[in-house]
Structure 1
Protein backbone atom coordinates (compact mmCIF):
# COMPACT_ATOMS: atom_id res chain seq x y z
CA UNK A 1 0.00 0.00 0.00
CA UNK A 2 1.39 3.37 -1.03
CA UNK A 3 1.52 6.10 1.62
CA UNK A 4 1.68 9.02 -0.82
CA UNK A 5 -1.60 8.34 -2.59
CA UNK A 6 -4.65 6.07 -2.53
CA UNK A 7 -5.82 4.27 -5.66
CA UNK A 8 -9.59 3.90 -5.90
CA UNK A 9 -10.94 1.39 -8.43
CA UNK A 10 -14.24 2.30 -10.09
CA UNK A 11 -15.69 -0.73 -11.86
CA UNK A 12 -18.44 -0.37 -14.42
CA UNK A 13 -21.92 -1.79 -14.72
CA UNK A 14 -22.17 -5.28 -13.15
CA UNK A 15 -18.83 -4.84 -11.33
CA UNK A 16 -15.47 -6.36 -12.31
CA UNK A 17 -15.25 -10.14 -12.00
CA UNK A 18 -12.25 -12.07 -10.63
CA UNK A 19 -10.53 -12.27 -14.04
CA UNK A 20 -10.86 -8.54 -14.74
CA UNK A 21 -7.64 -6.54 -14.61
CA UNK A 22 -9.17 -4.25 -11.93
CA UNK A 23 -9.75 -7.24 -9.63
CA UNK A 24 -6.23 -8.48 -10.31
CA UNK A 25 -4.80 -5.04 -9.47
CA UNK A 26 -6.86 -4.96 -6.28
CA UNK A 27 -5.34 -8.28 -5.21
CA UNK A 28 -1.78 -7.60 -6.37
CA UNK A 29 -1.42 -3.98 -5.29
CA UNK A 30 -3.96 -3.47 -2.50
CA UNK A 31 -5.96 -0.86 -4.38
CA UNK A 32 -9.42 -0.14 -2.97
CA UNK A 33 -12.59 -0.91 -4.94
CA UNK A 34 -15.38 1.61 -4.48
CA UNK A 35 -18.36 -0.57 -3.58
CA UNK A 36 -21.77 0.28 -4.98
CA UNK A 37 -25.18 -0.64 -3.58
CA UNK A 38 -26.53 -1.98 -6.86
CA UNK A 39 -24.20 -3.21 -9.59
CA UNK A 40 -27.03 -4.51 -11.80
CA UNK A 41 -29.31 -1.44 -11.84
CA UNK A 42 -26.93 1.44 -11.13
CA UNK A 43 -28.31 4.79 -10.04
CA UNK A 44 -26.07 7.70 -10.99
CA UNK A 45 -26.87 9.66 -7.83
CA UNK A 46 -26.17 6.70 -5.56
CA UNK A 47 -22.92 5.85 -7.33
CA UNK A 48 -21.87 9.51 -7.12
CA UNK A 49 -22.44 9.55 -3.35
CA UNK A 50 -20.42 6.34 -2.92
CA UNK A 51 -17.50 7.81 -4.89
CA UNK A 52 -17.68 11.06 -2.94
CA UNK A 53 -17.58 9.18 0.38
CA UNK A 54 -14.65 7.03 -0.77
CA UNK A 55 -12.63 10.10 -1.78
CA UNK A 56 -13.44 11.82 1.50
CA UNK A 57 -12.39 8.72 3.46
CA UNK A 58 -9.06 8.34 1.66
CA UNK A 59 -6.20 9.27 3.99
CA UNK A 60 -4.07 10.71 1.19
CA UNK A 61 -4.31 12.21 -2.28
CA UNK A 62 -6.37 10.02 -4.63
CA UNK A 63 -5.80 8.46 -8.04
CA UNK A 64 -8.91 7.05 -9.73
CA UNK A 65 -8.81 3.97 -11.96
CA UNK A 66 -12.15 3.67 -13.74
CA UNK A 67 -13.56 1.19 -16.23
CA UNK A 68 -16.58 1.64 -18.53
CA UNK A 69 -19.46 3.17 -16.54
CA UNK A 70 -16.87 4.10 -13.90
CA UNK A 71 -15.41 6.55 -16.45
CA UNK A 72 -18.79 8.17 -16.97
CA UNK A 73 -19.23 8.32 -13.19
CA UNK A 74 -15.85 10.01 -12.80
CA UNK A 75 -16.72 12.84 -15.20
CA UNK A 76 -20.17 13.34 -13.62
CA UNK A 77 -18.75 13.32 -10.08
CA UNK A 78 -15.97 15.79 -11.00
CA UNK A 79 -18.60 18.19 -12.31
CA UNK A 80 -20.99 17.93 -9.34
CA UNK A 81 -18.95 17.16 -6.21
CA UNK A 82 -17.72 19.93 -3.90
CA UNK A 83 -14.48 21.47 -5.23
CA UNK A 84 -12.63 20.70 -1.99
CA UNK A 85 -13.41 16.98 -2.38
CA UNK A 86 -12.60 16.91 -6.10
CA UNK A 87 -9.31 18.62 -5.22
CA UNK A 88 -8.13 15.46 -3.43
CA UNK A 89 -7.98 13.67 -6.79
CA UNK A 90 -4.63 14.04 -8.50
CA UNK A 91 -5.22 11.91 -11.59
CA UNK A 92 -7.50 9.39 -13.29
CA UNK A 93 -6.90 6.45 -15.60
CA UNK A 94 -10.16 6.07 -17.54
CA UNK A 95 -10.39 2.77 -19.41
CA UNK A 96 -12.97 1.89 -22.08
CA UNK A 97 -15.61 4.53 -21.34
CA UNK A 98 -19.11 3.19 -21.96
CA UNK A 99 -21.17 5.40 -24.24
CA UNK A 100 -24.40 5.55 -22.22
CA UNK A 101 -25.84 7.91 -24.83
CA UNK A 102 -25.98 5.18 -27.51
CA UNK A 103 -29.46 3.65 -27.76
CA UNK A 104 -28.78 0.10 -26.54
CA UNK A 105 -26.90 1.21 -23.42
CA UNK A 106 -29.33 4.04 -22.66
CA UNK A 107 -32.19 1.55 -22.26
CA UNK A 108 -30.14 -0.62 -19.86
CA UNK A 109 -28.76 2.31 -17.89
CA UNK A 110 -31.55 4.86 -17.52
CA UNK A 111 -30.62 8.04 -15.72
CA UNK A 112 -27.01 8.18 -16.90
CA UNK A 113 -27.61 10.66 -19.72
CA UNK A 114 -26.17 13.13 -20.47
CA UNK A 115 -22.48 12.34 -20.17
CA UNK A 116 -20.63 15.18 -18.41
CA UNK A 117 -18.19 16.48 -21.01
CA UNK A 118 -16.35 19.26 -19.24
CA UNK A 119 -12.56 19.37 -18.91
CA UNK A 120 -11.57 17.36 -15.86
CA UNK A 121 -9.89 19.32 -13.05
CA UNK A 122 -7.12 16.70 -12.71
CA UNK A 123 -4.75 14.94 -15.08
CA UNK A 124 -6.35 12.05 -16.95
CA UNK A 125 -5.57 9.37 -19.50
CA UNK A 126 -8.32 7.69 -21.52
CA UNK A 127 -7.55 4.24 -22.90
CA UNK A 128 -9.87 2.99 -25.62
CA UNK A 129 -10.10 0.21 -28.14
CA UNK A 130 -10.63 0.21 -31.89
CA UNK A 131 -13.37 -2.42 -31.57
CA UNK A 132 -15.12 -1.68 -28.28
CA UNK A 133 -18.78 -2.68 -28.70
CA UNK A 134 -19.84 -0.19 -26.00
CA UNK A 135 -18.12 2.89 -27.41
CA UNK A 136 -17.04 3.59 -30.97
CA UNK A 137 -13.41 4.65 -31.39
CA UNK A 138 -14.24 8.18 -32.60
CA UNK A 139 -16.62 8.65 -29.68
CA UNK A 140 -14.02 7.52 -27.13
CA UNK A 141 -11.46 9.87 -28.67
CA UNK A 142 -13.97 12.73 -28.49
CA UNK A 143 -14.66 12.02 -24.81
CA UNK A 144 -10.91 12.10 -24.14
CA UNK A 145 -10.66 15.46 -25.91
CA UNK A 146 -13.69 16.88 -24.06
CA UNK A 147 -12.26 15.74 -20.73
CA UNK A 148 -8.83 17.22 -21.54
CA UNK A 149 -7.31 13.76 -21.24
CA UNK A 150 -4.43 12.11 -23.05
CA UNK A 151 -5.67 9.47 -25.51
CA UNK A 152 -4.12 5.98 -25.63
CA UNK A 153 -5.19 3.52 -28.33
CA UNK A 154 -5.24 -0.06 -27.01
CA UNK A 155 -5.63 -1.57 -30.47
CA UNK A 156 -8.27 -4.24 -31.00
CA UNK A 157 -8.75 -5.11 -27.32
CA UNK A 158 -12.55 -5.13 -27.26
CA UNK A 159 -14.03 -3.61 -24.09
CA UNK A 160 -10.72 -4.01 -22.21
CA UNK A 161 -12.32 -6.32 -19.66
CA UNK A 162 -12.16 -10.03 -18.73
CA UNK A 163 -13.22 -11.07 -22.23
CA UNK A 164 -10.14 -9.28 -23.58
CA UNK A 165 -7.99 -11.83 -21.72
CA UNK A 166 -5.45 -9.24 -20.60
CA UNK A 167 -4.57 -11.00 -17.36
CA UNK A 168 -2.85 -8.52 -15.05
CA UNK A 169 -2.68 -6.05 -17.97
CA UNK A 170 0.89 -4.86 -17.29
CA UNK A 171 0.67 -2.24 -20.08
CA UNK A 172 -2.27 -0.61 -18.30
CA UNK A 173 -0.49 -0.68 -14.96
CA UNK A 174 2.55 0.94 -16.60
CA UNK A 175 0.24 3.73 -17.86
CA UNK A 176 -1.03 4.19 -14.31
CA UNK A 177 2.49 4.31 -12.90
CA UNK A 178 3.54 6.91 -15.50
CA UNK A 179 0.46 9.00 -14.72
CA UNK A 180 1.22 8.85 -10.98
CA UNK A 181 4.86 9.73 -11.58
CA UNK A 182 3.85 12.72 -13.67
CA UNK A 183 1.12 14.02 -11.33
CA UNK A 184 1.40 12.88 -7.73
CA UNK A 185 5.16 13.27 -7.78
CA UNK A 186 4.80 16.80 -9.15
CA UNK A 187 6.13 16.62 -12.70
CA UNK A 188 2.93 17.98 -14.29
Structure 2
Protein backbone atom coordinates (compact mmCIF):
# COMPACT_ATOMS: atom_id res chain seq x y z
CA UNK A 1 0.00 0.00 0.00
CA UNK A 2 1.52 3.33 -1.00
CA UNK A 3 2.85 5.54 1.77
CA UNK A 4 0.32 8.28 2.61
CA UNK A 5 -2.31 6.59 0.43
CA UNK A 6 -4.33 5.89 3.55
CA UNK A 7 -5.18 7.57 6.84
CA UNK A 8 -4.94 5.45 10.01
CA UNK A 9 -7.69 6.21 12.51
CA UNK A 10 -7.06 4.84 16.01
CA UNK A 11 -9.99 3.92 18.26
CA UNK A 12 -8.95 3.51 21.90
CA UNK A 13 -11.05 1.57 24.37
CA UNK A 14 -12.37 2.29 27.83
CA UNK A 15 -10.21 4.81 29.73
CA UNK A 16 -8.37 5.78 26.54
CA UNK A 17 -4.84 4.87 25.52
CA UNK A 18 -2.12 6.61 27.56
CA UNK A 19 1.15 7.78 26.06
CA UNK A 20 2.88 4.45 26.76
CA UNK A 21 0.11 2.36 25.12
CA UNK A 22 0.90 0.76 21.75
CA UNK A 23 -1.92 2.74 20.10
CA UNK A 24 -0.22 6.00 21.10
CA UNK A 25 3.12 4.68 19.87
CA UNK A 26 1.54 3.67 16.57
CA UNK A 27 -0.10 7.09 16.23
CA UNK A 28 3.35 8.65 16.54
CA UNK A 29 4.96 6.07 14.20
CA UNK A 30 2.51 5.66 11.32
CA UNK A 31 2.89 8.14 8.45
CA UNK A 32 -0.63 9.61 8.61
CA UNK A 33 -2.55 8.80 11.79
CA UNK A 34 -4.98 10.37 14.22
CA UNK A 35 -7.21 9.10 16.99
CA UNK A 36 -10.86 9.29 17.86
CA UNK A 37 -11.17 11.46 20.96
CA UNK A 38 -14.11 10.84 23.25
CA UNK A 39 -15.66 13.34 25.66
CA UNK A 40 -15.84 10.78 28.47
CA UNK A 41 -13.32 7.95 28.61
CA UNK A 42 -14.44 6.71 32.04
CA UNK A 43 -18.25 6.56 31.70
CA UNK A 44 -18.67 5.76 28.00
CA UNK A 45 -22.05 6.09 26.32
CA UNK A 46 -22.48 4.03 23.16
CA UNK A 47 -24.44 6.72 21.34
CA UNK A 48 -21.75 9.34 22.02
CA UNK A 49 -18.83 7.09 21.12
CA UNK A 50 -20.45 5.97 17.86
CA UNK A 51 -21.31 9.58 16.96
CA UNK A 52 -17.72 10.66 17.61
CA UNK A 53 -16.39 7.89 15.35
CA UNK A 54 -18.89 8.90 12.67
CA UNK A 55 -17.63 12.52 12.80
CA UNK A 56 -14.00 11.43 12.58
CA UNK A 57 -14.67 9.19 9.58
CA UNK A 58 -16.61 11.96 7.84
CA UNK A 59 -13.77 14.45 8.46
CA UNK A 60 -10.97 12.10 7.37
CA UNK A 61 -8.92 13.49 4.50
CA UNK A 62 -8.75 10.19 2.62
CA UNK A 63 -9.72 6.53 2.86
CA UNK A 64 -9.12 4.91 6.21
CA UNK A 65 -7.79 1.92 8.02
CA UNK A 66 -9.33 1.70 11.49
CA UNK A 67 -7.15 0.43 14.35
CA UNK A 68 -9.37 -0.41 17.33
CA UNK A 69 -8.63 -1.77 20.79
CA UNK A 70 -11.01 -3.28 23.35
CA UNK A 71 -14.20 -1.20 23.62
CA UNK A 72 -13.08 0.59 20.46
CA UNK A 73 -13.73 -2.68 18.57
CA UNK A 74 -17.28 -2.86 19.86
CA UNK A 75 -17.79 0.84 19.07
CA UNK A 76 -16.61 0.14 15.52
CA UNK A 77 -19.09 -2.74 15.16
CA UNK A 78 -21.96 -0.55 16.36
CA UNK A 79 -20.89 2.22 13.98
CA UNK A 80 -20.62 -0.13 10.98
CA UNK A 81 -24.12 -1.48 11.69
CA UNK A 82 -25.71 1.97 11.38
CA UNK A 83 -23.36 4.26 9.42
CA UNK A 84 -24.32 5.79 6.13
CA UNK A 85 -23.06 3.70 3.18
CA UNK A 86 -20.93 6.60 1.89
CA UNK A 87 -19.06 6.72 5.21
CA UNK A 88 -18.65 2.95 5.45
CA UNK A 89 -17.18 3.07 1.93
CA UNK A 90 -14.39 5.35 3.19
CA UNK A 91 -13.09 2.49 5.34
CA UNK A 92 -10.65 0.16 3.60
CA UNK A 93 -10.35 -2.21 6.54
CA UNK A 94 -10.09 -2.63 10.30
CA UNK A 95 -7.60 -4.10 12.74
CA UNK A 96 -9.56 -5.24 15.81
CA UNK A 97 -7.31 -5.87 18.81
CA UNK A 98 -8.52 -7.54 22.03
CA UNK A 99 -12.24 -6.80 21.63
CA UNK A 100 -14.02 -6.44 24.96
CA UNK A 101 -16.88 -8.86 25.49
CA UNK A 102 -19.37 -6.42 27.02
CA UNK A 103 -21.87 -9.29 27.38
CA UNK A 104 -19.65 -11.41 29.66
CA UNK A 105 -20.53 -12.17 33.27
CA UNK A 106 -18.90 -9.62 35.55
CA UNK A 107 -18.45 -7.04 32.80
CA UNK A 108 -17.82 -3.62 34.38
CA UNK A 109 -21.05 -1.66 34.64
CA UNK A 110 -19.51 1.26 32.73
CA UNK A 111 -19.33 -0.90 29.58
CA UNK A 112 -22.77 -2.46 29.65
CA UNK A 113 -24.36 0.31 27.55
CA UNK A 114 -22.49 -1.25 24.58
CA UNK A 115 -24.42 -4.55 24.84
CA UNK A 116 -25.66 -6.29 22.87
CA UNK A 117 -22.70 -6.56 20.52
CA UNK A 118 -23.68 -6.29 16.84
CA UNK A 119 -23.37 -9.58 15.01
CA UNK A 120 -23.45 -8.32 11.42
CA UNK A 121 -20.57 -8.88 9.04
CA UNK A 122 -18.36 -5.83 8.80
CA UNK A 123 -18.62 -4.30 5.31
CA UNK A 124 -14.83 -4.17 4.84
CA UNK A 125 -11.90 -6.56 5.34
CA UNK A 126 -10.88 -7.00 8.95
CA UNK A 127 -8.45 -8.91 11.12
CA UNK A 128 -9.17 -9.67 14.78
CA UNK A 129 -6.23 -10.22 17.14
CA UNK A 130 -7.18 -11.80 20.46
CA UNK A 131 -5.35 -13.61 23.22
CA UNK A 132 -5.79 -16.96 24.91
CA UNK A 133 -5.72 -15.30 28.36
CA UNK A 134 -7.53 -11.99 27.82
CA UNK A 135 -9.69 -11.20 30.87
CA UNK A 136 -12.03 -9.13 28.66
CA UNK A 137 -12.88 -11.97 26.23
CA UNK A 138 -12.31 -15.71 26.30
CA UNK A 139 -10.55 -17.27 23.30
CA UNK A 140 -13.84 -18.89 22.24
CA UNK A 141 -15.64 -15.54 22.42
CA UNK A 142 -12.91 -13.76 20.44
CA UNK A 143 -13.18 -16.42 17.72
CA UNK A 144 -16.98 -16.14 17.76
CA UNK A 145 -16.79 -12.35 17.30
CA UNK A 146 -14.32 -12.80 14.45
CA UNK A 147 -16.71 -15.24 12.75
CA UNK A 148 -19.74 -12.98 13.24
CA UNK A 149 -17.89 -9.91 11.97
CA UNK A 150 -16.24 -11.77 9.08
CA UNK A 151 -12.77 -10.99 10.43
CA UNK A 152 -9.72 -13.16 9.95
CA UNK A 153 -8.86 -14.40 13.47
CA UNK A 154 -5.47 -14.48 15.18
CA UNK A 155 -5.09 -15.78 18.74
CA UNK A 156 -1.88 -14.87 20.54
CA UNK A 157 -0.50 -16.99 23.39
CA UNK A 158 -0.31 -15.31 26.79
CA UNK A 159 -0.80 -11.75 25.52
CA UNK A 160 -3.46 -10.73 28.06
CA UNK A 161 -5.54 -7.72 27.03
CA UNK A 162 -2.76 -6.52 24.70
CA UNK A 163 -2.34 -3.29 26.63
CA UNK A 164 0.20 -1.60 28.90
CA UNK A 165 -0.72 -3.82 31.85
CA UNK A 166 0.06 -6.96 29.82
CA UNK A 167 3.40 -5.51 28.69
CA UNK A 168 2.35 -4.23 25.25
CA UNK A 169 3.77 -0.78 25.03
CA UNK A 170 5.28 -0.23 21.59
CA UNK A 171 4.08 -3.65 20.37
CA UNK A 172 6.29 -3.63 17.29
CA UNK A 173 5.17 -7.23 16.58
CA UNK A 174 1.67 -5.86 16.04
CA UNK A 175 2.77 -4.18 12.83
CA UNK A 176 2.90 -7.66 11.28
CA UNK A 177 -0.86 -7.91 11.86
CA UNK A 178 -1.37 -4.47 10.31
CA UNK A 179 0.68 -5.62 7.31
CA UNK A 180 -1.47 -8.77 7.08
CA UNK A 181 -4.62 -6.61 7.14
CA UNK A 182 -3.21 -4.47 4.33
CA UNK A 183 -2.64 -7.65 2.30
CA UNK A 184 -6.27 -8.67 2.93
CA UNK A 185 -7.40 -5.21 1.76
CA UNK A 186 -5.35 -5.55 -1.44
CA UNK A 187 -6.74 -9.07 -2.10
CA UNK A 188 -10.27 -7.73 -1.59
CA UNK A 189 -9.63 -4.86 -4.02
CA UNK A 190 -8.30 -7.30 -6.67
CA UNK A 191 -11.42 -9.45 -6.34
CA UNK A 192 -13.61 -6.40 -6.91
CA UNK A 193 -11.58 -5.16 -9.89
The TM-score normalised by the length of structure 1 is 0.94
CA deviation digits over 1:123-169, x for unaligned, max 9?
00000000000111100100000001100011110000011213321
Give the alignment of 1:44-123 within 5 angstroms.
44-105=46-107, 107-123=109-125
The alpha-carbon deviation at position 2 of structure 1 amounts to 4.3
Shift of 1:106: 5.2
Summarize deviations over 1:79-116 as a string: whole Å, max 9, x none: 01111111110100000000001132252323211000
Q: For residue 170 of structure 1, report the CA deviation from its aligned partner.
A: 1.8
Is the Cα contact below 8 Å between 1:181 and 1:187 reproduced in 2? no
User: 1:152–1:187: structure 2 CA closer, same or farther, 3 Å change rule?
Assistant: farther
**Cα distance change on mapping 1:187 and 1:178 into 2, 3 Å:** farther
Of residues 103-112 and 82-91 in structure 1, the stretch that sits farther from structure 2 once superposed is: 103-112
Aligned length: 188
Structure 2, gaps ≥5 residues long = none
Q: Secondary structure at the match of 1:126?
A: strand
Which of 133, 136, 139 is the equivalent residue of 2:135?
133
Matched with 2:184 is 182
Aligned to 2:21: 20
2-structure distance, mates of 1:9, 1:134: 19
The Cα shift of 1:76 comes to 0.6
Note the C-alpha offset of 1:19: 1.6
In structure 1, distance between residues paired with 2:113 and 2:168: 31
Pairing partner for 2:36 from 34, 38, 43: 34
SS in 1 for 2:74: helix
Query: What SS does structure 1 have at the residue aligned with 2:116?
Result: coil
3-state SS of paired residue (2:114): coil
Q: Helix, strand or coil for the counterpart of 1:170? A: coil
What SS does structure 2 have at the residue aligned with 1:146? helix
Greater CA deviation, 166-175 or 131-140? 166-175
4+ runs deviating over 2 angstroms: 184-188
Shift of 1:187: 4.4
